[in-house]
């Protein structure tokens, strides 16, 4: 996901109707620092009509400016990351790719098994497993994340919102991460996963982790050469 510090005043005003300074005044008056990240993001969506991705961006930027917290850290001391992609597909198609074992086994993990109900379990051969906490098709999915090797005891939420011209915004947030290192690892992992999902939905072809890493390294090398 784009670093919110790189988003200009012009860009945030164009997409949300307010500049960074104006949003900071709104959140200061509302008391966002004391109310916390989750409640603030919900407030921006429910009362100001921001899409999930922009609600996260404004919330994180305000937290950084007002509380001086490290990257990804929240008021509780835990860490949280978000990754968002715009996908050219209907909301239900994107949502179902997180629940249908056949789809999951193609774009995300091997041997996916899913009980698609609140309280149901999911698992795959890569060690990912957990329990569904909320399923509100086609807008919201929340589940525990209990991979013993990668950030167990955490929670993942996916929010899907319709956009113009048959596209949707899919925003994934991973909460309750215990360290900056966990946050960095899961940020990279979910960035790959969301790129793979987008490619799979739009073209029928997922992106493997190794291919994704090679592409990212090549892009980084090109950017370095241009800068030089």
Buried/exposed code over 124-148 (b: 16+ C-beta within 10 A; e: otherwise): beeebbbebeebeebbebbbbbbee
Which pTM was predicted?
0.69
Read off the tokens for 43. Answer: 């407030």
**Could you give all domains of the chain from N- to C-terminal order, each with its CATH number?**
1-69 (no CATH), 75-208 (3.30.530.20)
Distance CA(161)–CA(173), nearest Å, equals 14
Predicted local confidence at residue 74, as pLDDT: 63
Predicted local confidence at residue 68, as pLDDT: 60
Work out the percent of the chain whose per-residue pLDDT is above 90: 69
Number of H-type helices and E-type strands within the chain: 9, 7
Instruction: Read off the pLDDT of residues 196-226 as tens digits, 9 standing for 90 and up.
Output: 999 999 999 999 999 999 988 887 766 545 5
Instruction: Write down the residue that tokens 């993990």 correspond to.
Output: 109
Read off the tokens for 136. Answer: 């509100």
* CB atoms near residue 186 (< 10 Å): 24
Instruction: Read off the pLDDT of residues 64-114 as tens digits, 9 standing for 90 and up.
Output: 777 666 666 665 678 899 899 999 999 999 999 999 999 999 999 999 999
Torsional sign, CA 144, 202, 5, 226 = positive
Long-range contacts of 21-29 (CB under 8 A, 24+ apart): 23/58, 23/61, 23/62, 24/62, 24/65, 24/66, 27/58, 27/59, 27/62, 28/66
Mean pLDDT within 30-54? 91
């Amino acid at each position: 996901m784009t670093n919110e510090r790189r988003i200009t005043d012009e860009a945030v005003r164009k997409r949300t109707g307010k500049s960074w300074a104006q949003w900071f005044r709104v959140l200061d008056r509302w008391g966002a620092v004391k109310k916390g990240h989750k409640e603030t993001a919900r407030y921006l969506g429910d009362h100001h009509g921001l899409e999930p991705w922009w609600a996260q961006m404004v919330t994180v930027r305000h937290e950084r400016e007002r509380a001086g917290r490290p990257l990804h850290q929240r008021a509780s001391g835990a860490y949280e990351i978000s990754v968002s992609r715009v996908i050219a597909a209907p909301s239900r198609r994107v949502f179902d790719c997180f629940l249908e074992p056949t789809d999951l086994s193609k774009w995300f993990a091997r041997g996916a098994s899913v009980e698609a109900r609140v309280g149901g379990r999911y698992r795959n051969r890569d060690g990912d497993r957990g329990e569904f906490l909320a399923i509100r098709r086609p807008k919201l999915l929340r589940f525990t994340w209990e991979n013993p090797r990668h950030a167990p005891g955490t929670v993942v939420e996916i929010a899907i919102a319709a956009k113009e011209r048959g596209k949707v915004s899919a925003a994934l947030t991973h909460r309750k991460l215990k360290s900056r290192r966990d946050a960095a690892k899961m940020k990279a992992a979910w960035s790959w996963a969301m790129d793979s999902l987008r490619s799979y939905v739009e073209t029928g072809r997922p992106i493997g982790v190794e291919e994704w890493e090679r592409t990212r390294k090549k892009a980084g090398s090109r950017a370095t050469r241009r800068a030089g």
